[in-house]
A and B are shown apart, each in its own frame.
Chain A
Amino acid sequence: QQQVKQSPQSLIVQKGGIPIINCAYENTAFDYFPWYQQFPGKGPALLIAIRPDVSEKKEGRFTISFNKSAKQFSLHIMDSQPGDSATYFCAATSNSGGSNYKLTFGKGTLLTVNP
Chain B
Amino acid sequence: NAGVTQTPKFQVLKTGQSMTLQCAQDMNHNSMYWYRQDPGMGLRLIYYSASEGTTDKGEVPNGYNVSRLNKREFSLRLESAAPSQTSVYFCASSVTSGSTFFGPGTRLTVL
Contacts and interface: CB of A to CB of B under 8 A. Distances in A.
Interface of A: 6, 9, 32, 34, 36, 41-46, 49, 89, 93, 95-108
A93 B35 CA distance: 14
A5 to B, nearest CB: 11
B98 A32 contact: yes
Contacts of B102: 36, 43-45
A108 B58 CA distance: 20
A9 B94 CA distance: 27
B105 to A, nearest CB: 5
A8 to B, nearest CB: 13
Contact of B95 (A96, A99, A108): A99
B98 A107 contact: no
A100 B97 CA distance: 10
Nearest to B104: A43
B96 interface: yes
Interface stretch (B11-19, B42-50, B61-69, B72-80): B42-50
A23 B20 CA distance: 35
Nearest to A108: B42
Nearest to B49: A100
A106 B95 CA distance: 21
A101 B104 contact: no
A101 B105 contact: no
Given A42-B105, A105-B44, A95 B98 contact: yes
Q: Which 4 A-B pairs have the closest CB atoms?
A: A105-B42, A43-B102, A100-B50, A32-B98
B99 interface: yes
